[in-house]
Structure 1
């Protein structure tokens, strides 16, 4: 049975869960009779990274802050692309085996350029600002935390640390 909803209202659906993500449910959530474009990004666990075989990814996150940041991202997307109708931004925590989805972003709009651009911007911004961390678990039993290259606060923190260390070194050299 299809869920009844008022098509004049925009939907923003944020989810952080340890359950398996369902791509078809995301498409169903954003589909609208007013939209000719449904764009979806599904980020899955791959089996090899830098020549190392991956068994699974393990995600941890600060859920309350992550949801707040995800809502901010959706608000920015709606300002940048006012034609966007519905947005789904779902992220999985816990263990995510190879081939399963870690993140799903789906966006609907009347025309493809808005939904495609917004979907990419949502994903790029999520990786840069949302407090969710990933650890790769390799088939040899070893693990390694991975830093998102896009992560803005890591760059800011490392720059601040460098500045602090340089100031400390200068103070130490002058004493």
Structure 2
């Protein structure tokens, strides 16, 4: 099941922006295609993946849950803030998975198209950092020893040195 939102209004949300929460695997090719534009000199794409360890503990898999309507509104707000800071941005794509994800699977994609690389990098970094801090998304880490625990992805932002 895919919950997808493509908005051309209200006016603060740009028609070229694309946001999605989905149980289905994320496509790097699709995110890139959605950010592509002839006006771009750069597309910066950040792909967050499931690692096999967290702070020295072996991870078996992750499980993501989200309050999807609010998460999509947070994605829209991130795009609005990006466009206020970097007015030349042409496209913003934010996609996030929910459900069970195995090691190596992509959990989040952020793509930003822009005429200049420095702005594209800065806007993409802002998007993922803000998403991790503000979006109502939680992950449950399942370790190979059979134990597990829930973590708000916002907790990851508070400790950049952690393996979130």
Q: TM-score, normalised by structure 1?
A: 0.79
CA RMSD of aligned residues (A): 1.2
Runs of 4+ aligned residues of structure 1 deviating over 4 Å after TM superposition are: none
Q: 1:43 aligns with which of 16, 28, 48?
A: 48
1:150 deviates by 2.4
SS at match of 2:142: strand
Aligned length: 143
1:79 aligns with 2:79: no
Gap regions ≥5 residues in structure 1: 1-8, 152-175
Cα distance in structure 1, aligned partners of 2:114 and 2:67: 30
Cα distance in structure 1, aligned partners of 2:143 and 2:95: 25
Aligned to 2:147: 142
Larger Rg: 1
1:34 aligns with 2:39: yes
Aligned to 1:59: 64
Give the conservation status (yes or no) of the 8 Å contact 1:10–1:85: no
1:119-138 equivalence runs, <5 A: 119-138=124-143
Cα distance in structure 1, aligned partners of 2:99 and 2:156: 21
Gap regions ≥5 residues in structure 2: 1-13, 159-164
Deviations 1:121-150 (A, max 9, x none): 000000111100011011222111124232
1:22 aligns with 2:27: yes
